[in-house]
């Protein structure tokens, strides 16, 4: 997805908040470890992650649920409590990002996937395979775990990254200029054949290949083609998200439908549940899963809101390829009149326009200075395309 890194400086800090439309989990493909049969019920899930033969989900209340293979404690050792904002599942290990920007890890630890998890806060994304990679608020990357093909030791330096994916024995990262960088195992050209250009919006990878969505909504896949991962890539320019398993690929269209291709030995590509509008997808080793996204409305979230850190603003389910307005005030919670309805902020207000991508997503990273702990701040916003207001948030500086 398109990542917007703004140079604007907000002279305030915020406490953690999270808001997003929830939905039901759907799973298809291999059920050898109960990936399908034991999938959790209910419609209060906001993110899923498929691992080797287990899966992990984040609930709207910030708590976690795991199911499937538990051979390394990747299910039974799932941390309790709330306060989590993002999840990742690897080949036997799991990771969850807390609202304070710290990482929790559990499960398979043969190569230090758990014990070598970097300490501290300031992380905004984590991805896992046999190795793991995390993105920090300053745009730098940290890798740990299996280093057989130098997928850890060759992690690129620099502070211009906005997203990363740990895939098989290699990794791929998206930079602020829209370009891609890959490193690690290159046996099938998954590194050397990384496409050039500055028009990439989101990426993912499988065992020996990677895939990406361009800003025009088209797809590109490179690396191994052993199961048609490359040759069967669907045409079109209406794709919003890409996900991958070991040798299969999934793509989410802007209308909420999902297409799969590549290895289909368990139906992980072809058995996409019909008639479901998905909001998010993920690939496990031989299974696939997603969250039903039908009816989702524009939602605002503000996370990692720690004084002296970097706050992350995300807006989801807004109008694709359009404008959303992020609004904040340090003066009160309104209300004021706007063209789209009541705004729960008080004058003076600060308005920041953001461009949404093909999935209706926009992001903003803001430096948060120290020294304002205990003060209050109010957030609101509007989706210009649908002429609707976002959810409002009242927060206390942390």
Residue 308 and residue 294 in contact, taking contact as beta carbons nearer than 8 Å: no
pLDDT at residue 91 greater than cutoff 80 = yes
Q: Are residues 134 and 257 in the same domain?
A: yes
Residue 177 included in any domain: yes
Average pLDDT, the chain: 87
d(CA 298, CA 189): 39
Residues 6+ apart with CB under 8 A from 275: none
Q: Is residue 14 part of a domain?
A: no
The residue from 292, 307, 333 where one domain ends is 292
Query: Which range has the top average pLDDT, 6-10, 175-179, 246-250, 385-389?
Result: 246-250
* Confidence class for position 16, pLDDT limits 50, 70, 90: very low
Measure the CA–CA gap between 231 and 143, rounded to whole angstroms. 31
- Residue 240 and residue 164 share a domain: yes
- Write out the residue range of the structural domain in which residue 392 sits: 299-396
Distance (Å, rounded) from C-alpha 284 to C-alpha 67?
12
pLDDT score for 360 = 80
- List, as one string, the DSSP characters of 184-233: E--TTSTTTT---SS-EEEEEE-SSEEEEEETTS-EEEEE--TTSTTTT-
Reply yes or no on whether the pLDDT at 3 is more than 60. Answer: no
pLDDT score of 20: 42
Section 278-303 average pLDDT: 84
Q: Is the pLDDT of residue 233 over 70?
A: yes
Find residue 145's DSSP bridge partners. Answer: 131
Of 66-70, 181-185, 252-256, 261-265, which range is least confident?
252-256
Q: Which residue has the higher pLDDT, 216 or 290?
A: 290
Number of domains into which the chain is organized = 2
The residues pairing with 220 across neighbouring beta strands, listed in sequence order, are 212
Whole-number pLDDT of residue 340: 67
Percent of the residues in the chain that have a pLDDT greater than 70, as a whole number = 91
Tell me whether residue 89 is in a domain. yes
pTM of the predicted model as reported, rounded to 2 decimal places:
0.75
Is 143 in the same domain as 269? yes
In a domain, 158, yes or no: yes
Average pLDDT for 291-320: 78
The per-residue pLDDT for 61 is 83
Same domain, 360 and 243: no
Do both 227 and 273 map to the same domain?
Answer: yes
Structure tokens at 264: 């289909």
């Amino acid at each position: 997805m398109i990542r917007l890194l703004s140079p604007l400086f907000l002279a305030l800090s915020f406490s953690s908040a999270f808001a997003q439309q929830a939905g039901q989990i759907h799973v298809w493909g291999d059920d050898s470890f109960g990936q399908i049969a034991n999938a959790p019920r209910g419609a209060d899930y906001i993110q899923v992650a498929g691992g080797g033969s287990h899966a992990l989900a984040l609930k709207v209340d910030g708590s976690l649920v795991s199911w499937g293979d538990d051979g390394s404690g990747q299910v039974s050792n799932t941390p309790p409590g709330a306060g989590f904002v993002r999840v990742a599942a690897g080949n036997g290990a799991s990771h969850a990002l807390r609202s304070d920007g710290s990482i929790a890890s559990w499960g398979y630890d043969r190569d230090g996937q758990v014990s070598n998890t970097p300490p501290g806060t300031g992380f905004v994304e984590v991805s896992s395979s046999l190795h793991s990679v995390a993105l920090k608020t300053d745009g730098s990357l940290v890798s740990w775990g299996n280093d057989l093909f130098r997928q850890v030791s060759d992690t690129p330096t620099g502070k211009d990254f906005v997203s990363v994916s740990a895939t098989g024995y290699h990794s791929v990262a998206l930079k602020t200029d829209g370009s891609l960088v890959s490193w690690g195992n290159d046996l099938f050209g998954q590194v050397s054949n990384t496409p050039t250009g500055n028009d990439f919006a989101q990426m993912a990878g499988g065992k020996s290949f990677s895939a990406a969505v361009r800003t025009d909504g088209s797809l590109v896949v490179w690396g191994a083609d052993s199961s048609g991962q490359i040759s069967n890539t669907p045409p079109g320019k209406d794709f919003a998200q890409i996900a991958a398993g070991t040798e299969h690929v999934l793509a989410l269209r802007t209308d909420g439908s999902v297409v799969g291709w590549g290895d289909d030995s368990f139906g992980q590509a072809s058995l996409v549940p019909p008639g479901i509008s998905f909001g998010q997808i993920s690939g496990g080793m031989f299974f696939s899963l997603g969250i039903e996204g039908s009816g989702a409305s524009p939602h605002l979230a503000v996370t990692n809101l720690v004084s002296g850190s970097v706050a992350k603003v995300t807006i989801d389910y807004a109008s694709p390829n359009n404008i959303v307005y992020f609004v904040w005030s340090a003066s009160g919670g309104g209300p004021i009149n706007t063209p789209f309805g009541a705004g729960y902020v008080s004058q003076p207000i600060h308005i920041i326009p953001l461009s949404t991508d093909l999935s209706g997503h926009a992001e903003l990273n803001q430096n948060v200075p120290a020294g304002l702990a205990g003060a209050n701040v109010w957030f609101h916003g509007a989706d210009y395309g649908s002429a609707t207001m976002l959810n409002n948030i009242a927060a206390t500086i942390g």
